[in-house]
Structure 1
């Protein structure tokens, strides 16, 4: 379980504070796209849809509006973290593909059953993955598939996901995919296989106060 937790922490969005609104001036070099990965676009609409999934799951998991506002306040970089995860998921898929690794539905089901047993049931696992990793219930199986890909990739490299050898494989995959982020979300560091914030004076981050939701 410890290795699985480390893997999830490394590969799942780690969410910590209020969802920012980014306002920018100047020309948009990525019209309609938050990122381009391997020639495929991740649109703003796709990114916002994934963020909304987390927000709805957070609202459904708490008893009142005040608790929801606290959850939002703890997840302030949700949009950027979600984009980071969407890109990293594709990087991991590419690295696994390069290594000839695949994951079956049965393997995902077995992993989920084991984790549910440890978490005290399906509800406990969904709650834990949402709170700790920002993974909404409908994305749980997708996330577990990625965890298995990471474990298999690490095993094929005779290492584990915390070691440089593992991240070197992800770096190689990042380079192959030619990742290009919209400048408002920073840039993609191929060597680290991670998003880095751009320091540009014409981008201003504004934290909007969460709107009160009916209980």
Structure 2
């Protein structure tokens, strides 16, 4: 059971993300000014997304005080903004799927899972370090993340499956459709079938680059 607990975060937090696209404001983003994504009637603002990213960067900086090593960490996590947005959206999608299935998670369950994982990791600080390094979760967001993992586990159980099976992801796909997830094009698009953020073509980048090349020196 404990081994499954360690796998679940990787499933939910690690997106299959292609090479990073330039973070440029697209024409279509005007529909939701200031929003990185709209999930149902909830907005994830650009400021909220940036705050989440800053939390991770600050934790990484505290964990790696050496400048050169910190820059290596930043380079290895160059898609942090898009990964973070993916996680923020997926959390809401999963929560909707869990609600539809009548699944709830108590604070006691979260604390129980955290205690088990701390024992496995060797202590609270070690667990926070693992979640930061492997999943890009800041220490102050650890309990929130564990709640997501428990929701996923209990949702899968209610469906008579596990989080790796198509039946589980079909439930998330249905929740994505109900919530009508809409991402700001600068961050890509939301694939309803896979319940995942995907990169999208950015033709305006080529157009701007081409126009720039025609400018007189």
| TM-score normalised per structure 2 | 0.88
Change (3 A) 1:19 1:57: farther
Contact map agreement 1:112 1:144 (CA 8 A) in 2: yes
Residue 136 of structure 2 corresponds to: 134
**Higher fraction of helix:** 2
Output the CA distance in 2 between the equivalents of 1:203 and 1:77. 19
Structure 1 unaligned regions, length at least 5 = 205-215
Contact map agreement 2:15 2:197 (CA 8 A) in 1: no
Query: Matched residue pairs, number?
Result: 204
Output the CA distance in 2 between the equivalents of 1:27 and 1:42. 16
Structure 2 unaligned regions, length at least 5 = 207-217
Residue 118 of structure 1 corresponds to: 120
1:186 is displaced (CA, Å) by 1.2
Taking the TM superposition and a 5 Å limit, the aligned residue runs for 1:13-52 are: 13=14, 22-24=23-25, 26=27, 28-29=29-30, 30-52=32-54
Taking the TM superposition and a 5 Å limit, the aligned residue runs for 1:1-215 are: 1-13=2-14, 22-24=23-25, 26=27, 28-29=29-30, 30-203=32-205
Contact map agreement 1:14 1:134 (CA 8 A) in 2: no
Residue 213 of structure 1 corresponds to: none
Greater gyration radius: 2
**Higher fraction of strand:** 1
Provide the secondary structure at the position in 2 that maps to 1:22.
coil
Provide the secondary structure at the position in 1 that maps to 2:24.
strand
Output the CA distance in 1 between the equivalents of 2:122 and 2:15. 23
Output the CA distance in 1 between the equivalents of 2:79 and 2:21. 6
Contact map agreement 1:34 1:43 (CA 8 A) in 2: yes
Change (3 A) 1:79 1:171: same
Q: Which moved more, 1:85-94 or 1:26-35?
A: 26-35
Contact map agreement 1:129 1:136 (CA 8 A) in 2: yes
| TM-score normalised per structure 1 | 0.89
Could you say what the CA RMSD is over the residues aligned between the two structures, in angstroms? 2.1
Output the CA distance in 2 between the equivalents of 1:194 and 1:27. 19
Provide the secondary structure at the position in 1 that maps to 2:190.
strand
- Displaced runs of 4+ in structure 1, greater than 3 A? 13-16, 18-21, 24-28
Output the CA distance in 2 between the equivalents of 1:85 and 1:142. 11
